[in-house]
Structure 1
């Protein structure tokens, strides 16, 4: 049986499995696709390639340059990031350079118009209002959607941090009811306390993290409490699950069901279809526009860079580009009291 680094095949394979577990599933998939793209490029250029030999800096530069005029700069950077990750995983040296950095910048400048997707407007407070007035306050599914929507928005969460990809709930990655600490659970003066939620795993915190639930007129704490009561959830149940309308069985709220229900509400108002990613930047933008210090927003939203500030500064242009599609929505009555 061949050995690697003096270790058995099984031991080394488990080492790599533990190493890869630090990545989100989507990141792993993207890295695998990036490596396959590089291997295909090597075959087309008749460049020798071995998974046991590091890629030289000139080859990496040539690979990056080959994408100029064909794809977006972000796509090229992601593919190079996949190549770098593969080197690190194999313990091979990755040689970056100022030349490679300049080439990637040129690729971004040369990106064809077809590679640029129109920016979608973020979810906004007015959209939350419309959803809250349309969702049925006695239907467990709708109450669950409302609670997840407010939590995701005001806590600047990624959709995959609280909503399941499928009805098979992963308790190692998603919160159960016992992960929640509502203000009234802590005792004392509830009006002076902040609710908190333990996320078992996030994209950047694989060992879990506490997030704080902000207090405001659409406080997610009240919606979550109503949701737990409506679906009669127990401490070990998934936090965002609901009782089925007819069978009364507990069903995990999926991303598809969540965003599908909300788009069903928003589409008649001529709002472009929203993806689940729009909630995180929407909540961030709402906090910034409300005057919350950007550093506080950054810490609360677990942003690792200042990229969200660039999006915020471009918000007026983004909204303007969609005004012809959203004219009905932007005139929504913001003074109506929410149902939940």
Structure 2
């Protein structure tokens, strides 16, 4: 099971347990959870949580019941309640504005490029900006979250080449992408004369780290 899936499943169990504690529901009623209890649990979060988030919680709860050999009472009452949450869910947050070149210049000016961590941050930022890549494909979520099947290792080979037109570009392999999964993909970065040139940033990151 994927780490993210486990996290989503545990979120459902956590919120259900917190709800039961809030309503003074005895532990022996937690599992198997009565269909009315499940419906009230869903209704409790209606209007404050998105319906797909609640659905994810319920999938986690159902899996928790299955792992313990308990009957899951996810019938019509629960389905009707879930449909109601969709009509009451909060409006989606507005889309964030895109990162601008001016903001990249501000990042360049504010970082200490002799600092190894700052050099790594800037290299990733320039690769994402100029290469138009998802940050989730280039970074590790936590210092203890490295996964060799998904994350770029420090020893990854970066090939810097020059076209006949004298334009430099760099290529390195990432092991996982959102669309290609474990097939991975090549990251191609083209040099430019801007202070945020991704090749300069990447090679500097490798030299100081």
Q: Please, what TM-score do these two structures have when normalized by structure 2?
A: 0.63
Structure 1 counterpart of 2:152: 175
Distance 1:180 1:74, change over 3 A: farther
Q: 1:48 aligns with which of 29, 42, 51?
A: 29
Q: Residue by residue, what CA displacement relative to the aligned partner does 1:87-117 show, whole Å, maximum 9, x if unpaired? A: 46557786766764553342243246xxx78
Distance 1:194 1:23, change over 3 A: same
Structure 1 counterpart of 2:42: 64
Structure 2 counterpart of 1:151: 127
Provide the C-alpha distance between the structure 2 equivalents of 1:133 and 1:95, rounded to a whole number of angstroms: 58
Question: Shift of residue 124 of structure 1?
Answer: 0.7
Structure 2 counterpart of 1:210: 184
Provide the C-alpha distance between the structure 2 equivalents of 1:102 and 1:219, rounded to a whole number of angstroms: 54
Distance 1:192 1:99, change over 3 A: farther
Question: In the alignment, is the contact (CA less than 8 A) between 1:183 and 1:194 conserved in 2?
Answer: yes
**Taking CA–CA contacts closer than 8 Å with sequence separation of 6 or more, which of the two structures ends up with the larger relative contact order?**
1
Question: Shift of residue 118 of structure 1?
Answer: 5.3
Distance 1:183 1:101, change over 3 A: farther
Provide the C-alpha distance between the structure 1 equivalents of 2:19 and 2:7, rounded to a whole number of angstroms: 19
Structure 2 counterpart of 1:23: 3
Provide the C-alpha distance between the structure 2 equivalents of 1:180 and 1:124, rounded to a whole number of angstroms: 28
Q: Quick check: 1:223 aligned with 2:198?
A: no
Q: 1:165 aligns with which of 133, 137, 142?
A: 142
Q: Please, what TM-score do these two structures have when normalized by structure 1?
A: 0.43
Question: In the alignment, is the contact (CA less than 8 A) between 2:35 and 2:77 conserved in 1?
Answer: no
Q: Quick check: 1:198 aligned with 2:179?
A: no
Q: How many residues align?
A: 197
Gap runs ≥5 in structure 2: none
| Equivalent runs, 1:1-340 vs 2, <5 Å | 19=1, 22-24=2-4, 27-42=5-20, 44=23, 48-50=29-31, 53=32, 60-87=38-65, 89=67, 100-111=78-89, 119=94, 121-126=96-101, 127-153=103-129, 154-158=132-136, 162-163=139-140, 165-166=142-143, 170=146, 172=148, 174-184=151-161, 195-199=171-175, 208-216=182-190, 217=192, 220-229=198-207, 231=208, 242=209
Provide the C-alpha distance between the structure 2 equivalents of 1:88 and 1:202, rounded to a whole number of angstroms: 31
Provide the C-alpha distance between the structure 1 equivalents of 2:80 and 2:105, rounded to a whole number of angstroms: 46
Tell me whether 87-96 or 135-144 shows the greater mean CA deviation: 87-96
Q: Which secondary structure does the structure 2 equivalent of 1:162 belong to?
A: coil
Distance 1:194 1:99, change over 3 A: farther
Question: In the alignment, is the contact (CA less than 8 A) between 1:73 and 1:108 conserved in 2?
Answer: yes
Gap runs ≥5 in structure 1: 1-18, 232-241, 243-340
Distance 1:204 1:33, change over 3 A: farther
